[in-house]
Structure 1
């Protein structure tokens, strides 16, 4: 069994890459059961007490809540806006669009209208754009009256989305842009974490599911959930996050054979692909040992919502390179034992708030469970 010991963080000169994917609310990541977790409450902030009646921990089996009910305000979105989100989700469900489409649609409406059914805004209007998705009558989306019907506008969005080849495997930004053709295509991604949380709240945890219509199930190991997340390797969890024995262990060790593929846990941009403190890579081209410095060959990926994942101890120089745009499930390297390691495994970390230091690390097990990519089931 391998036993990664944390070492001083590598002092690397990282090329900063501009990402228009900042989250508008700070994520608080805690593990709990029941209905709505502290993850959702902390992530959205200011959630109405009635939200506690919404179920967020299934996998969509119960179906979406009715848009005609007395829905609560959620985070920065008032009751009318939440009702519009519920309409978007219910239309997608009725049309048989997989929950990933619901997340894409809700995030798109967040960017286009803040989930508000906008009419003509005069000088502030973008051409003749109207409604939740700012669709334009002059571009054939429908009449002004139709586009201000949330159900109609949602239907038109989904009808276009499902014609986009491979949309389910795209990043949220790419899928939304394929429909909207926005002048600001990178703006959609920043809404993905909140849209995921709202879909979970309004549809019984459907952002952790795959399937469509009433045939939904929890994503299995290696599948990409509607949240856009998947496990980084099929493995068993070894050493845990900041245990009493290892309080400085900022990730989890996933025990798997040398050479096994490592997958990007979600879409994003590679910001680091390096060997600890050795530009030549020579010190990482051999197996490490306990007490040796750091991660060995490792990769960091920046995701929507100021989230970062780190993948350590690769067997060779990563296949992913700095600046690469990767999709969830894309191979970025292979498992090894370089750096501070006593056997083959993947040391996996999740960081929030664009903070790659130990202060930004959160428990990957609880975080990934909330995304529908449980590390516990990754064998």
Structure 2
């Protein structure tokens, strides 16, 4: 299935993928000028220390020019010695001077060279270190969350999920834009640059081992293709997708999405509700924002609650999930509650509220 502009997007993604296919979050790195300044300061410090050591024992050195070694001669000797030039016009002649050269000057010379070539060594080892990090990342990545699209919807989805307990190390962002992926890695998420409608791009995000996939693309047709590709690679993962137009929701479900959110109509309904009842609109907005005010959570039925009706539960029960059915709290068939049921409740958000992989939002006692 080809869409207008799809090949252009793919070519653009391939251009980015030539040098950087997967980007892992990094610690903040100092500016190059600051790094060079630090290295120069350290090299100068080593040079000054060497000059002081040589001048302190200047009687143990011999200068072929005038036999004596003054401060300038000590600085000259330290410079040519640390740079391994070694002209031989100034030499240590006493036992103490020679011992100092063996035990002190030589280690300082090695340290001086390490400082000078440190930048070169860092460049040479960077690729190896990055390959090692990437290999380790792939080997440890399991049951993670893949987010396709890091726009407003994608960011909000990640923030909501992470606010309920998901670690940033368990999130992988996929987007065709290098700048977007740079922004994601800056916030602590791993990123894959590429077109998520292509299976090789999703494989780089290890989508075949993901627990859940969030599709938050800008276009509905792109979301459909991503859902088809993701479902083909992972039959077990939960796929949640957002579409702009409500008429495209059934197509996305046929493509493999477990849940589809219509962003345009949902926002419109919230606007209409706020017009009719501003207070009701505020409550709905509060429920949408995870981690503050009131939270809408799903949790299992406890042993103490089994056999009772939803009205007898301490939490405010909205619905009961029984098998693959979602029943209202007032449905006669939900009473009595079973241990295999799950409750969708409204609770007061607290700092202790957390989510485990098996429970969705679950208040911690």
Q: TM-score, normalised by structure 1?
A: 0.26
Comparing both structures, which one devotes a greater share of its residues to helix? Answer: 2
Task: Compute the TM-score of the two structures, normalised by the length of structure 2.
Answer: 0.26
* Higher Cα radius of gyration: 2
Q: Which structure carries more relative contact order (alpha carbon 8 Å, separation 6+)? A: 1
